[in-house]
Structure formats: structure tokens, C-alpha cells
Structure 1
Amino acid sequence: MAFQIPGVGEEQERSSQQWGVGSHVFRGIVSEIVSLDFQVFIEGTVGNLLGISRGLFLASIFLGLLGVLWYLIPNLPLFAFAWIVGTMPIWVPVAAVAGGWKAWVWYVQSNFLSNRTPLLLEVKMPRELMKSPRGMEVALSLLWVYHGETTFFHRKWLGQVRPIFSFEMASFGGDVHFYIWLWKEWRPVIEAAIYAQYPEVELVEVEDYASKYIYDPGEHKVYATDFRYEPRNDAYPIKTYVEFEIDKDPKEEYKVDPLAQIVERLSTLGPKEQIWLQIVITMDMEVRRKPGGKFWELEGRYTGLVKAEIDKIRKDLVGDPNDPKDRWKSFSRVQMYRINEQIRTMERNMSKHPYHVGIRGVFISDEENFTGRGWNSMRWIWTPMGNPQYLNQLRPRRWHTPFDYPYQDVWDLRWNLHARRFFDCYRRRAHFYAPFTLPDNLMSTEVIATLWHPISTAIKSPGVERIPAKKAQPPPNLPK
């Protein structure tokens, strides 16, 4: 039996069901209006339900208010022009300095990045590989380096940025490949990190598959998206290889690697289908003012975020001793599995090195094979690692995801524009600096190692070409 909305009759309820809108939608709209939270109303009713962008909605409100003022004040244009000209000595210097400084930082950072020599290494998988993703976690720890941004002079005048790495998986018609993108000067570091933990693999320099691809809307259909943490903040991780118990190195036949589903999906693509997945990372060194501390006391943003969430969970469990309604919690300690797992998982990941992480993916095919079966499986490809009930999951966001209604994109103009911008962003491996500064998530090395690691022998997907023979170094006592 459907719930009845207060103030809404049965006739309106039947009308909503006829139009395919359930009563829960009306309850959500009413709750957003009653709460007087304009931000929630824009994101919920306006954005998710009606598919109207924030900019268009706010611009419409601004123009409406401007029209009302114009009606009430006939000489509004003259008054506004005089006010702007009269205050120019105040706002013009401020805007010029702020805008000029931001443009300068963008320029020097772009100049620094353009002078880096990119390199793409393909990771060749051996026939026998037994090590768990913990080895990849240790390898990632070697890449957590504070290099290039030591002083304000290096950051803002020379435009130097921290090293950027990208761990990628790509399937070309069912042939699955693993890649690592990096700056050329960091190749020895990457090779040392990977070979130290996985001496059986091979790192081979190859041509960049993204740079040689040419997008033609007449021949190719694409669906591109980014992936973000939802429904909680960065303190809550996804399920990692520790939750799947492959950190204990069980026998191969007993391993349950969540990456197996992803590799298997990539292996089942048709001849004219492609899926690219990209995980761009750079070390996290952000700090924030310590809550409750002195003005100059700082703490790591990731560490502080995790501590704040753990304290919030514990306070909800214990309650407020001054509140009579929560007094019973002081005498009762109810051990909930959910709370124990939340605290245990967050504290474990807090002990690992944090990274800024941007994840994106794209499905490419011809018009005949561009179906929901193809691109929708790419949108939810990270589902095996998700735990939306009390941790987090990776949901598709940005690029082509917001398009739900025909009026959002007439003649596919915005769709093709987003596709071109996405491929430009993908080729640059851009996420943290101009020209593409996009929202990212904070993730520990444990989470990143779960999302990308050399796959063991337990994953037997036919699309992965493995090295036929194991190579060994010559004995060290051979005469030179």
C-alpha cells in the first residue's frame, strides 16, 4: 500500500502514478521546500528530477528579479551604470590583481606541464602470479613524494606541481591491456616500485592509445563519465581487498578478487567496442585548521576528516549525557556490526598514505552496438567494490551522465562537445591543474591498490594476454 502524502488527495496520487512519478517523489519535493534548504532544492528537484542545470536555474532567477526591479525602478539601467562607474576605483584594481594572479598561476603551471615528456608503459602479466594487491599498495607508497612544490617560489612563480601518475585499463574489442602513464623522468621510480613487488611482470613502453584515437561523431558513439564517492564523504572508503580477504594470500582457487568481474567484462566486448578506464593520482598534502584548536593549529585534511567522522559515530552511539533522551546510552553499550566495521575500516585506511584521485571511463562503439547493455555496464563497472549501505561506492558523475531529457541537448550539440572535451582531458591525464581542474576524492593506497593491481593467476579472463615464459637473470658469478 502506497504512503499517502499529507495534503495530497487520492486523485492526485493516481495522477502521479499515471505519469510515472511515485508518491516518494512528491514527498521529497515537499520535504525540500519545507526544510527551506535552497541548495538541496536545486540539486534535488531542479537538477535530478527536472534535469535543469544549476547555472540555467540561477540565471533564470536573476533575470526574473532583474525584470521586477526594472519594472519598479524605471531608470534602473542608468542607475546601475552610474553605480558601476562610480565604484570602479575600488573594484577594478581588486579584480585586476586577483584575476591576473590566477591567470599567471594557470599559465606557469600549464607551461611546466607542457614541458614534461609523457610516457606510457604497458604491464605484461605473467602466467604465474600469486601475490595479493598488498604488493601494489607497497608500490604506491613509493610514489607518495613531495617533489616540485617545496617553496612558494617553486609553486606559484615557476609553476611546478607534484608528480602525476595514471593507472589505466583498456579493452579494444575484448583485448585487455593494463597501462601506467607517467613523466619520463619518473620511469626508474615506477620500474623499481613495480619490479620490487612483482618481478614476474614486464613493463614495456608503447604508443599512447588515447593520443592516436580520433573521435568522429559520424562514425563513433561514446558515453563518458567520471566516478565519484557517494553517498558519503572521503572519510568512508569503498570495500577493499582486505574486506575480500585476499590480503592473507589464500590459495588461488579460493581468491575472490573484485577486479575479476571488471576484467571479465572488458574481455567480453565486441569487435567494434572499446572501454577505457583511467585512475589519475597525485599525493595529498592538504591541511586544514584543527577544529577546536588554536587559530594556527593545523592538521592533515584527510586525517582530520576521518577523525571527525569517527568522533561523530561514537557520539551518536554514546549520546549526549546531558540529554535525558540519550541517558540510557550511557549505561548500554550496543555493539553494532555496522559501526564496528565503519570505525575499523576508516582507522585502517587513515594509517595509509592518501592521494588525490580522479577516476573516469568511456565506452566507444559504432552506432549499431551503442546500446544500454554496453555503456551502462561501464557506468557501474566499479559496483563490486561498492558498499553504499554504510561505507561508499563509486557512482558515475559528470560528462554524459546528466543528460536525461531531450530538452537538455538539442541535436546532440552538448553531447559531442562533452565528448571532445573528455577525450582532451583523458589524453592530458588532467584532473588537478589547468586547463581541467575537476572534483576529486581522497583515497588511501589500499583503495587504489584494490582498483588497479597486477592480476593474479586466479583471474583467467581470455582477453588478458599473459607472458608465455618466465624470464630469469643470469647468474652473478659468470665471467665478464
Structure 2
Amino acid sequence: MVETLIQTLEIGRIFQIIIDVLTTALTFFVYLIWVVPLIALVNLRKIELQKQYIKKFNWQLFELKIPKQNIKTPKAMEQVLVSLYAMRASLDPEEVWLEGKVCPWMSLEIISSKNGIRFFIYAPDNQRNLIESSFFSQYPDIEINVVEDYTKEMPLNLQDGEYDLYGADLVLAAPNPYPIKTYPYFFEGGKTINEEKRADPISIISEVMSNLKSDERIWIQILIQPAEDVLKKEGEKIINKIIGKKAEDKKTSPIITLIDSIISFLKDLVVALYSSLASSAKESKSDEKPQIKFLAPNEELVVKAVLNKMSKLAYKTIIRFLYIDKKSDFTGKNIGAIFGAFRQFGDWTLNGLKPQDKTKTSKPRFFVFFRNQIFLKRKKDIYENYLSRSFPSYSYFPYADIFEPSVLNVEEIATIFHLPIDQLVEASGLRRVEAQRGS
């Protein structure tokens, strides 16, 4: 009698599971048939509007000529980046979806050729006053001139001629809240500029760039676009995980909630098929109180580093570089040197920079067919993206970019891009101001 009752209950439970699965499948089917196409159409419309909006930008290239006797550390450049953050535009949903508006961005650039090393900013012309005021406040003797785009000295279809290239976009190797090494580390804990012992992090980059042959070129651009509170949200999750604190439940979009609920249900379904105790186990887990644990020294270091990064303004950032040389002389020696120069910013316990796999100009490892075609297309794409200073401002799929830009704060960006100190200018053939401004 008891066995019959148990069997009846089990059969009823199985039927209930089948009904739940069919209900979920029907909901998911309706979502795929109606909701997904609707979202795709709206998103495609937004993309077209954004393309038209970006075309209206009138870009200019500003050359930065280093002042004589520059003794400013990267801290000065950090303050410049804080000021440049004013380009941030607070966009309403109506402006984004109906007008295609995007937040403007800039490109911080270092280039090298037989004519020496030069520094530039590529930006919309309506940001000129902001750029000049930001730099003059920290570098009163700097010279800022509008110049012809240096990329025009090379053909539009580079590979069809006598030149070849290697390029890649560099992104963070670990999640955004983990910082890279920054200038306080290189400048010996913040010692003053008057002291002899210092290690300017840009010195390795300039050393690589100052030893080029007549036809070699190295172009580096750092695209920056003001970021929202991405670091705060992601950073809090990381810190809560390290200290053992349960994160608060936050509201998400209905689409994400629906997808999460389906995935969660399917997971629970698998558990239920193999264990009738799954529900009770869940209840016992939900009653557990989170415990704040004591931190090991390395965990404490990570928490402090993440908090420090979160405390400063941040930009969505893409670091893009090209190495160009004649096909007859093309060598990988300088490519390795460039990667080595960027490797100095890495910290094994925190973060570093790595090439983005979808953009680096190497043959794909897992494609047997069309390897050469993919290889050539990657070269074409990275070159065109550099010329246009392309920033992924829109996505063809909701919640999924080809790749997501990294988020670096002003201290990190200033470490990579800043006007070098005076001794380095003398050693590297960098362009400096010929006369004092106003004299």
C-alpha cells in the first residue's frame, strides 16, 4: 500500500516536471519567434542612426610639442585626463534610440618613423577648447597645433603595395576592476621629480620607437571614451566575493531576467531528476548567513588595488598599434619589442595587457579552410580601424559586442600615455617646443 502510494507520488511528480518543461519550452519558443526579431530590428535601426550621427563628427589632429625642461610626472597627465572627462555626454534613452547619439571619444597617439617620435590627440573639432585648457593648465609651455593626419602618408590599400603590417588591439587580461601597474610603482612610491632615480614607464616604449630604420613605422593609439559606473558595479562584486559578503540582488532588464530564469529552471530540473532532496538543500543554503572572512595578505592587496581603481574616473579604452615596414625588410623583431614594452604594465596578481584574439593579425589556429583569407582580412580591418580611429560604439546583437572595450582609470591611462621627462626627450629625438609660448 505504501509502495503504491510512493509510486503514485513519483509518477505525479514526473508528470509535473514534464508539464513545467513543456511550459518553459513554449515560453522560450514564443520569445525566439516574436521577441528576438523585434529586438533585432530595433537594434539594427539604432545602429544605422548611430552610424549617421558619427559621420557628422568633424575630426582634427592636434600635435603636442613637448615643452623645454619638462619635469612633470605622469600625475600631470592624470589631471589632464580628469579634465578631458568633461567631454562625457549624458544621453537620454530617447537620444540614444531615436537620434542615435553616442558619447564622443578621443585618440591619444604616439608615432615613430625616421623623423622621430611625435605625440598627438585626434578628436572632434568641438573639443578643441577643452583639449587646450586641459593641457595648458598642467603644461603651460606646451605647444598644440592642428596638423595634417600623418596616416595619409601611407596608401589606403597598404597591402596592395610594397608595405606589410602587423597590428592588434590590446585589452585587459583580467576583469576591468583589477588594475595594471601604474606610475607610482615606476616612480618609486611617488618620489619627487627632483630626485635622480626614476623609471619613466614610457622610456621602454620610446626606446623601441627610437631605433627604427628609414621605412619602418610604429603607430600607437589609445582610444578613450568616458565610462559610466562600470568599475563600481564590477568592483563591488569582486570585493564582495573576496571578503565573503553576499551581493545584494539588483534589478535587471526583463529580457535578462527571462533568460536567467530559463537557465535556472533547467539547472534545477537536472538536479530534481537525480535528487528528491534538491529543494530542501536549497532551502538550507538560503538560510545560511554570509560570513565575512579574514583576508590573507595577497587578498588584502587585491582589495586595496581594486578600491583604488574604483575611486578614480575611468574611460572605456582600446589600445591599438601597428608596425609597418616594407615587405622585403619586414621582421618580427620589433613586434616582440612592442609587446615587451606593454608587458611592463602587467602584474601577475592583478592585471595586464594582452592582444585581443579577434584583432591581432595572425593566422587563426582552429580554421583549416580560408586561413589566408581570414589573415588578410584581419590586416585590412586593423589598418582601416586605425585610420578611422574606430571605436565599437554600437553592437549588432543585444548585450554582445564583437569585443568589449576595457575600462582603465585616469591613473592607468596616464601611465601609458604622458609627456616624457626632460632627460628622455634628449635621448629619444622627441619633438619639443622651439620657443616659449607667447615669446
TM-score (norm 1): 0.68
Q: Determine if contact 1:148/1:160 at 8 Å carries over to the other structure.
A: no
Indicate the SS of the match to 1:447. helix
1:240 aligned partner: 182
* Structure 1 residue 314 corresponds to structure 2 residue 279: no
1:219 pairs with 162, 187, 192, which one? 162
The one-letter code matched in structure 2 to 1:443 is L
- Shift of residue 275, structure 1, vs aligned partner: 0.9
1:465 aligned partner: 431
Distance in 1 (CA, whole Å) between partners of 2:169 and 2:31 is 41
Q: Determine if contact 1:220/1:364 at 8 Å carries over to the other structure.
A: yes
2:352 aligned partner: 393
Counterparts of residues 121-270 of structure 1 (less than 5 Å): 121-145=62-86, 147-173=88-114, 175-214=116-155, 215-230=158-173, 232-245=174-187, 247-251=190-194, 253-270=196-213
Distance in 1 (CA, whole Å) between partners of 2:31 and 2:138 is 60
* Structure 1 residue 448 corresponds to structure 2 residue 434: no
Q: Determine if contact 2:47/2:394 at 8 Å carries over to the other structure.
A: yes
Q: 1:345 to 1:147 in 2, by over 3 A?
A: closer
Identity %: 24
1:108 aligned partner: 49
Q: Determine if contact 2:169/2:360 at 8 Å carries over to the other structure.
A: no
Q: Deviations over 1:84-107 (max 9, x none)?
A: xxxx99966645533321121111
Counterparts of residues 257-336 of structure 1 (less than 5 Å): 257-285=200-228, 300-315=229-244, 336=297
Q: Determine if contact 1:148/1:154 at 8 Å carries over to the other structure.
A: no
TM-score (norm 2): 0.74
- Shift of residue 372, structure 1, vs aligned partner: 1.9
Greater RCO, 1 or 2 (C-alpha within 8 Å, sep 6+): 2
Across the two proteins, how many residue pairs are aligned to each other?
357
Distance in 2 (CA, whole Å) between partners of 1:449 and 1:181 is 16
Q: Determine if contact 1:280/1:359 at 8 Å carries over to the other structure.
A: yes
- Shift of residue 369, structure 1, vs aligned partner: 2.5
Q: Structure 2 unaligned runs (5+)?
A: 1-28, 246-284, 286-291, 396-400
1:426 aligned partner: 386
The root-mean-square deviation of aligned C-alpha atoms, in Å, is 2.9
Q: Deviations over 1:420-446 (max 9, x none)?
A: 111221122122324896421111111
The one-letter code matched in structure 2 to 1:432 is P
Distance in 2 (CA, whole Å) between partners of 1:258 and 1:456 is 11
Distance in 2 (CA, whole Å) between partners of 1:386 and 1:89 is 47
- Shift of residue 417, structure 1, vs aligned partner: 1.6
Q: Structure 1 unaligned runs (5+)?
A: 1-87, 286-299, 317-321, 323-328, 475-480
Q: Determine if contact 1:126/1:466 at 8 Å carries over to the other structure.
A: yes
The one-letter code matched in structure 1 to 2:142 is V
Distance in 1 (CA, whole Å) between partners of 2:33 and 2:232 is 40
1:349 pairs with 309, 312, 328, which one? 309
